[in-house]
Amino acid sequence: MTLNLAPNITDPDDFYAELIDSQRDLDEEQALRMNARLILLLANHIGDRKVLTEAIGCARAGG
């Protein structure tokens, strides 16, 4: 498997709103802590080491 960089989320505006809304009442520290948990949850769901390496590289490169 390779990292899927094509659109893959149904109803992207709804997803984005949910993501932002989930942190609306958090302060910056709480939000950053939540982000860390979210990354770990999603990384485990993906599982595939090669895909994770690609995603880390892509994020690190700035997109």
Partner 1 sequence: MTSYIYPKFGYRRSREQADGIVTRHPIVVVGAGPIGLTAALDCAARGQPVVVLDDNDTVSIGSRAVCYAKRPLEIWDRLGCAAPMVERGVSWKVGKVFFRDQLSYQFDLLPEADHQWPAMINLQQYHLEEMLVAKCRANPLIELRWKHRLISLKQAADHASLAVETPDGIFTMEAQWVIACDGANSDVRKMVGAEFTGQFFQDRFLIADVAMKADFPTERWFWFDPPFHPGQSVLLHRQADNIWRIDFQLGWDADPEQEKRPERVIPRIRAMLGEDTEFALEWVSIYQFACRRIDNFRQGRVLFAGDAAHQVSPFGARGANTGVQDIDNLAWKLAMVLRGEASEALLDSYHEERAHAADDNILNSTRATDFITPKTKPSRYFRDAVLELARHHGFARPLVNSGRLSTPTPYLTSALNTPDGDAVPGPMRPGTNAADAPIAVDGRPSWFLHCLGDGFTIVAFGEVSDKTEIRVGPFAAKLIIVGRDIEDPTGLLAQRYGASPGTTYVFRPDQYVAARWSGFDEAEITEAVLRAAGHDTADRTELAA
For residue 26, which amino acid is it? L
Shortest distance in whole angstroms from residue 13 CB to partner 1: 27
Calculate the CA 22 to chain-centre distance: 13
Assign 11 to helix, strand or coil: coil
Residues that bind partner 1 (CB under 8 A): 32-33, 35-37, 39-41, 44
Q: Which is nearer to partner 1, 38 or 58 (CB)?
A: 38
Query: Could you give the CA distance from residue 4 to residue 18 in angstroms, rounded to a whole number?
Result: 21
Shortest distance in whole angstroms from residue 46 CB to partner 1: 12
Shortest distance in whole angstroms from residue 50 CB to partner 1: 19
